Structure 1
Amino acid sequence: MTVLKSTRNAVLGLIAAAGLAMPAQADVDFSGKTIEWVIPFSETGGSAKWANFFAPLLGEALPGQPTVVVKFMPGAGSTKGANWFQKQKDGDGTLLFGSSGSTQFPYLLGDPRVRYEYNDWNAVMASGTGGVAYLNAEDGAKFDGSANALQDTDFIYGSQGATRLDLVPLLAWKMLGMNVEPVFGIKGRGDGRLMFERGEANIDYQTSSGYLKGSTALVDAGKAVPMMTWGALDENGEIVRDPTFPDIATFKEVCEATEGCETSGEAWDAWKAFFVAGFPVQKLAFLPAGTPDDIIAAYTKAFQDVVARDDFAEISSKRVGKYSVFTGGGAQTALGTATNVPAEAKAYVTNWLSEAYGVTLK
């Protein structure tokens, strides 16, 4: 698929693009100011942990060292917050917005609730992430690297919605022949983990930051068993093990070991296309439409300084995982990768959503 190949290549070229020049800063000074970083999810999910990790580092790096406060605006799988941000114009630098794949996918699929346009916003930072699916202890004992012994089990999963980032695990489990019943309506992936902890769900998935912060304790306590990651992309656009979780098999590996699951064909191409759109460039930070160039430049330099810290690789690997961070022109290029999928993949997913969940999209 030529379009998908070019999308993969765009992802792999982002590191070079991250160094593109930005307009020179003027006398931007945020001394004494408070910057609100709005996250359109609940405070329990991976996006919250991502923003809470970067916020104090950003505050130290911006001119005048302002206080950066993370605020939450959950609802409608993040479209509520994104629609609100779309109305914010001519930013003075005191408002930042964070999106994730669960914001990107409704946009990609033409969800009628979407009233936002990514191309109107100013991307100043983007970062990749991964994801880990895991089982409860009882069902995890049956897992042997394939899903063969799990295909007769009835699973319950707390989901934000089928057109959100949950699309990636739901389609993966379908391809593995598993019977996973989603309970829609949670406000963030952290709420799905809480359902799992309370025994209301017996399967879950978290993005890397959420898994590192909340789910590893469940694994260490013997209450959860890792099943698979979504993997990462190598230099050839092939799926390899996630660098943050090198000891956990990828979905591709589990699929190859499972009867009836194929790593080629329409389903695989659709899954991989949405994985590429949703994870290698999964979380983005934006300034509103109309923000002056000098403020955009100040944020770009601040995020570049954060990434250049001597301790960044060490502290980020423990909090958000070992993934690339893109700034400036690289962030804008990343946005293009994250908001495009081949027409064939979109058609496959749209048909599947209609048949499996009765979801009708325009």
Structure 2
Amino acid sequence: MTIKTLATSVAAIALMAAPAVAEVDFSGKTIEWVIPFSETGGSAKWANFFAPLLSQELPGQPTVVVKFMPGAGSTKGANWFQEQEHGDGTLLFGTSGSTQFPYLLNDPRVRYEYNDWIPVMASGTGGVAYLNAEDGKKFDGSANGLKDVDFIFGSQGATGLDLVPLLAWKMLGMNVEPVFGIKGRGDGRLMFERGEATIDYQTSSGYLSGAADLVAAGTAVPMMSWGALDENGVIVRDPTFPDMPSFKEVCEATEGCEAEGVAWDAWKAFFIAGYPSQKIAFLPKGTPQDVVDTYVDAFTAVRARPDFAEIASNEVGEYPLFVGAGAQKAAAEATVVSDEAKAYVIDWLKTSYGVTLE
């Protein structure tokens, strides 16, 4: 036997003797997908939509259970997740713009760090503002007829995702008084249904699953969507609501509102941080790469389903789904705004609501 043959034989025997690398298998396990909001809002709709699809694509087809941990505008749940470390790959966490904004604004309640978490999936969404039937008669594509109306709005807090509509309504010259303290956007919709609020907005999934029924019943009138970004970064109509004007269109039609300048730039910066990459699924810090890859592969398979575009359109809207490197890029874009936009918003929050972020 030659030295070369001997070396080859020894290598082959060693390879046969080495233990095989175990593939990730979730058979018989339960995945807990924690959402830091109540079970009534758009994030609940989002997670509940993806949970069974994820279950079908993960190896072993584990049960994926969505659990809710509302409180403090989602910072309670995010602070809890920050303390979690990888166990066995059975913990997933979902964030929204209301989790990202306090982080961006240096809210003192924030004890979490996005850079510690591992994004595996991200999806965009939109939002729709709507009025009660009486005030809806005064809406003509502009807010000119709404400036003398005193509106009530059920809000999770001015530093969360509600920042986008509150600033938009302010730019339109509308008088909107927020009632802070609700735990989810679905609770805001319930206030609107009971007549305790006269204006509301929902993210696309929440609008499609609940508020659209109010419009169909004639008790709500859609005002505008926030819009969407085209490939050049310009605000255009939301593809899920193509017949509805965007905020930019309503602003341009309203006296005193300008779709340019400092206020517009600040609104657009937080819109971008809060909507095109709004909802993100994270694994905890320390998760091994093979587990990360398994989740990325599963969400990739979900996206590749031939019926995905149709069922997603009906449930969560027509928005891109990012996985792997795309999710990492989306998470990075959702957690950065310019110093100028941040300074404008911090000053507006203090002046309008007495919110001081130190």
The TM-score with structure 1 as length reference comes to: 0.93
Counterpart pick for 2:226 among 230, 242, 250: 230
Q: Is the 8 A contact 1:162 1:353 kept in 2?
A: yes
Alpha-carbon distance in 2 for matches of 1:90, 1:220: 46
Q: Is the 8 A contact 1:91 1:289 kept in 2?
A: no
Partner of 1:271: 267
Q: Is the 8 A contact 1:96 1:287 kept in 2?
A: yes
Alpha-carbon distance in 1 for matches of 2:260, 2:304: 39
**Displacement, 1:91?**
3.5
CA 1:94 to 1:135, structure 2 compared with 1: closer, same or farther past 3 Å? same
- Secondary structure in 2 matching 1:285: strand
Alpha-carbon distance in 1 for matches of 2:143, 2:83: 45
Q: Would you say 1:293 and 2:283 are equivalent positions?
A: no
The TM-score with structure 2 as length reference comes to: 0.94
Structure 1 stretches of 4+ with a deviation exceeding 2 A read none
Structure 1 regions of 5+ residues with no counterpart?
A: 1-24
Partner of 1:15: none
Partner of 2:17: none
Structure 2 regions of 5+ residues with no counterpart?
A: 1-20
Amino acid at match of 1:330: G
Q: Is the 8 A contact 1:145 1:257 kept in 2?
A: yes
Provide the aligned C-alpha RMSD in A.
0.7
Counterpart pick for 1:105 among 101, 104, 122: 101
User: Aligned pair count?
Assistant: 338
Partner of 1:163: 159
Partner of 1:152: 148
**Displacement, 1:172?**
0.2
Partner of 1:76: 72
Q: Would you say 1:284 and 2:287 are equivalent positions?
A: no
- Secondary structure in 2 matching 1:200: coil
1:104-143 correspondence runs (5 A):
104-143=100-139
Amino acid at match of 2:253: A
1:342-353 correspondence runs (5 A):
342-353=338-349
Q: Would you say 1:207 and 2:197 are equivalent positions?
A: no
- Secondary structure in 2 matching 1:326: strand
Partner of 2:12: none
**Displacement, 1:26?**
5.2
**Displacement, 1:90?**
2.1
- Secondary structure in 1 matching 2:121: strand
Q: Would you say 1:310 and 2:278 are equivalent positions?
A: no
**Displacement, 1:235?**
1.1
From the CA coordinates, give the structure whose radius of gyration is larger.
2
Alpha-carbon distance in 2 for matches of 1:146, 1:242: 18
Partner of 1:261: 257
Q: Is the 8 A contact 1:105 1:163 kept in 2?
A: yes
Amino acid at match of 2:105: L
1:8-23 correspondence runs (5 A):
none
- Secondary structure in 2 matching 1:353: helix
Query: Relative contact order (alpha carbons < 8 A, sep ≥ 6): 1 or 2 greater?
Result: 1
Give the % identical residues.
Answer: 79
Alpha-carbon distance in 2 for matches of 1:240, 1:99: 25
